[in-house]
Every structure is written in structure tokens, then in C-alpha cells.
Amino acid sequence: MRRLRRPHSLAALALQRRDPAPSGRVRILGLDPGSQRTGYAIIDVDGLRIAYMASGAIRATGDFLTTRLPEIFSGVEQLAQEFRPDEVAVERVFMHRNADSALKLGQARGAALSATFAVRPRVYEYAPREVKLAVVGTGAAQKDQVQLMVKRLMKINGPLAEDAADALAIALCHAHSRTLYAVASIATGAPT
């Protein structure tokens, strides 16, 4: 009996596939919300081809969350208007120990997402462990491993800020998940 080699990540799975990926260009905005810095990344996906467009961080200033939220909203709104994403991928809020931090993160996430609504994108969310698994091949990957892998996958030379790398990892996770969803719907006969 022949054993199939199990891929270590969604990226590896996409490279092993022989059937066509979903067709049509899709622009994805990846968001890594934070109450002080919100990372963003824009990629274009056309079948199996992924093209890097832009990445960075929106830095919100001020001592109070109420002054930072409008800055997050405004920064993401400008990105949405300039790049007109078809889909937005965002990290799911999780609560570890500090409920106050989770609430602030949730508010920043809400400000960032609502800033995209004018362009009417489809929104998808991913757990941090899912993102790490998709990009690095292990859900327990460290931040520097994610950063290194994102740079390699997107062929980025030079520095890449941590927030931008995280947002790019979220966008890449979604790009690979789109391919898997399309394959699954073809296999089951469900609409995409």
C-alpha cells in the first residue's frame, strides 16, 4: 500500500495540488488589529498566483482608546478606498488571561472592520493558531518564524515590521484557505 506524504502547511498543500485553483483575481486585505498598531497587508490572488501589493501598520496615538479608535478607523478606511479589497481576513479575538486587553482588541478590531464596509468586502476570520499553521506549518510557531516565512513566501527583501508580517500571514492563510474551500466545494458539489 502506498503512503501519501502529509503536507505540513496549507501552502505546501497548494503546491502539491494538480487540479486548477479557483479562477478570477481577488484582492485580499489582511488585518492584524491592535489598539496601538494595526497591521495591514494587501495581496492579489489569481488562481495559485499570489502577488504582494502593500503592507505596513497604522499607528494610533493618544493616551486613551477613545482617541485611538478613530485613527484606526480612518487609516483602514483610506486603505479600503485606495485598494478596494474583495475580501478581508482578520485575526479572531481570543482571551488568554487579561479580559481588559481582549476588550480593547475587540474594539480596535471592530473599528478596523467597520472601516471596510463602504467597499462591501466579504469578511473571514482566523484563529492565531490557524494562521501560524498555514504559514509556518506549526500552530506553535514564534513571531520571528512567522516573519521569516512570510518574507520568504512573498519574496520580500529588507525589513518587515512585526505587525505587517502578522497581517500578511493572515492574508496568506486566507488565500490558501480559499483554495481549499473551492476544492472542497467541487468535491462535494456545493456552491462556492
Domain ranges of the chain: 22-185
* pLDDT value of position 17: 39
- pLDDT, tens digit, 9 for 90 and up, residues 17-50: 333 445 589 999 999 999 999 999 999 999 889 9
Q: Using alpha carbons, select from 188, 186, 183, 176 the residue that is nearest to residue 134.
A: 176
Q: pTM, whole model, 2 decimals?
A: 0.82
Residue 94 has pLDDT above 80, yes or no: no
Cell 502506498 belongs to 2
Q: Cβ(96)–Cβ(113) under 8 Å?
A: no
Q: Percent of the chain at pLDDT above 90?
A: 60
Burial environment of residue 131 by CB neighbours within 10 A (0 to 12, 13 to 18, 19 or more): buried
Give the helix/strand (H/E) hosting 184: helix 162-188
* pLDDT value of position 192: 56
Does the domain spanning 22-185 belong to CATH 3.20.20.70? no
Section 100-116 average pLDDT: 92
Q: What is the DSSP letter of 10?
A: H
Residue 111 has pLDDT above 50, yes or no: yes
Lowest mean pLDDT among 53-67, 88-102, 121-135, 178-192: 178-192
* pLDDT value of position 15: 41
Section 175-191 average pLDDT: 72
- Taking CB atoms within 8 Å and a gap of at least 24, the contacts of 63-68 are 65/35, 65/104, 65/107, 65/108, 68/35, 68/36, 68/108
Section 91-113 average pLDDT: 86
Please state, as a whole number, how many other Cβ atoms lie within 10 Å of the Cβ of residue 182. Answer: 16
Greatest Cα pair distance in the chain: 64
The mean predicted confidence, pLDDT, of the chain is 85
Give the span between the Cα atoms of 132 and 56, in whole angstroms. Answer: 19
* pLDDT value of position 89: 97
User: Which residues does the annotation mark as catalytic?
Assistant: 32, 91, 163
Strand order across the 49-59 sheet = 49-59, 37-46, 25-32, 87-91, 122-126
